[in-house]
Structure 1
């Protein structure tokens, strides 16, 4: 009888986790039920033959609870910042931090701290699938967001790929603003300065000092005008300091939009894929732990401060009873298999 992938229950301190392991132990993922958060993803390296950690996730319960760096956080119902924690929707004003008069920074939504439960799991000799669900986002549960959203997160693990499909369903009786994103940090076991990056984007989102996009079309600048942040041709990261959003992403031959992080010394690659949306890149320069040890490559459905942008309103609107999915993932490509991005 052919062995199948295994799913076992474990814990990170007091936090429940699910561990997914391939039959030959050469692929492994650990997901915390808190926030449906990916803690670890390992693939057997074709360089050493041993499982190689490819993410820089939370290492213990304290880090997970503190949410510092939002490591592999699921971003919903909004990715990145909402300016001044306030927005207007359907004629009503909403305050995400009522009573706060000092620091009004709010970012990355609520789902990353919500309690998820395992709804379904399947295993085969070639893959494993986890379907996680939360009903935590309800009117009154989170200040300034009086909407009812069910979220499901489907993780699929194969020998060389981790895929994520997030589906939001509006179970309330009013239209809700909603967008999804993911905030993973990736590593190839080398200083990021030595790695190369390829981003198939044509436009950069221009922001103010608070990293909030400028109004209207002023937010978009052609990458021809920002050669310091232009990675349309793969090049070494070096000392580049990046906390920026890329738009007008171009799909490759296979239809996926692929951002490629590569190690020239080994030929290994990580191909972060999505089918739509934007890509935020953060080189980890302000992290409390292990600055610039990894790179955040973040597929996001909408740009920063989308809740306050008329040009994003149609993309955000989730009608009562309606559902919308946002899919993304990452594939490890060994040195023997590397090929031009997008193929």
Structure 2
């Protein structure tokens, strides 16, 4: 008897707790599906499908982009592979296509790990371990990174889920985004230009601190100056006209959040066009590896040899 081939998305790890169920795929430590009481909270994809658009993947050792794939760190210059060739950018780090191995598993949680080996453009060995855990509050993902090299390493992380508020089109969803600043980017390459107050830079588009319908607004921008509660937690909410929705919350370790309305160059002809909204809490800004070039705090982390850093975020259902 021959065994079934492993799915294209890697080994599946289903987890469940109460009304929540999720499926984690080993390639890229990807959140492939998340449901509450049968309702999809994220834009999923088939297990035997090559993951599209980084959906649900774990981003490390940088989220977002390194402009031109080049940067300087500790006085040395580096050039890494351009994984977004149409924009000549290095996109979403080096872990997204690694096959993460099982560390620990229970009915409601799974921990996976992979090692980013030293390579051209990133000559450090970094072990990335991530835990996905379901509870009554939703799904919490925690990413821990340990520098196993002899020198300090630049680092950042974040997730890439596409939220699905409900059955209505994305244009009809309402977004609440508690951010006071937005990073202006170039239209063609999405390279950072300048950080602005949302009240001073196209506020109708970017000031989403109070709930407002998304409409036909297109977003693919990073936000900072994030409002938090007394515990340091920030919450972004997106709701459907029916009253249901999804919220993402994250701690003080994530000082930025990227929001992308899923617009495709070919528009409605593409079945993925504006079907979900990517919400990506990030420990650092786009192009943070070039932090010296900017007049704002990019949040770039430096992990000393043997050192560890961690970041967490949660996705939960909003009930009608």
Q: Which residue of 2 aligns with 1:318?
A: 303
Contact preservation (8 Å) 2:68, 2:89: yes
RMSD: 2.2
Q: Distance in 2 between matches of 1:116 and 1:332?
A: 27
Q: Which residue of 2 aligns with 1:112?
A: 96
**Residues 114, 289 of structure 1: alpha-carbon distance in 2 compared, 3 angstrom cutoff:** farther
- Which segments of 5 or more consecutive residues in structure 1 lack a partner in the other structure? 1-9, 45-50, 336-343
Aligned-pair CA distance for 1:60: 4.3
Contact preservation (8 Å) 1:19, 1:28: yes
Q: Distance in 2 between matches of 1:314 and 1:332?
A: 29
**Residues 101, 59 of structure 1: alpha-carbon distance in 2 compared, 3 angstrom cutoff:** closer
Q: Which residue of 1 aligns with 2:77?
A: 93
TM-score by length of 1: 0.82
1:220 counterpart = 2:187: no
Aligned-pair CA distance for 1:58: 2.7
Question: Deviations for 1:15-38, whole angstroms, at most 9, x for unmatched residues?
Answer: 31111133x6x3210000111101
- Which segments of 5 or more consecutive residues in structure 2 lack a partner in the other structure? none
**Residues 95, 315 of structure 1: alpha-carbon distance in 2 compared, 3 angstrom cutoff:** closer
1:29 counterpart = 2:22: yes
Name the SS for the 2:114 alignment partner. strand
Aligned-pair CA distance for 1:302: 0.4
Summarize the alignment of residues 149-164 of structure 1 with structure 2, pairs less than 5 Å apart. 149-164=126-141
Q: How many residues align?
A: 302
Name the SS for the 1:317 alignment partner. strand
Aligned-pair CA distance for 1:101: 9.8
Question: Deviations for 1:44-81, whole angstroms, at most 9, x for unmatched residues?
Answer: 1xxxxxx11111133243332xxx31111211111111
Contact preservation (8 Å) 2:9, 2:26: no
Q: Which residue of 1 aligns with 2:285?
A: 303
**Residues 120, 245 of structure 1: alpha-carbon distance in 2 compared, 3 angstrom cutoff:** same
TM-score by length of 2: 0.88
**Residues 120, 268 of structure 1: alpha-carbon distance in 2 compared, 3 angstrom cutoff:** same
Summarize the alignment of residues 89-238 of structure 1 with structure 2, pairs less than 5 Å apart. 89-97=73-81, 104-123=88-107, 128-135=108-115, 137-140=116-119, 143-187=120-164, 188-209=166-187, 210-214=189-193, 219-225=194-200, 226-227=202-203, 228-238=205-215
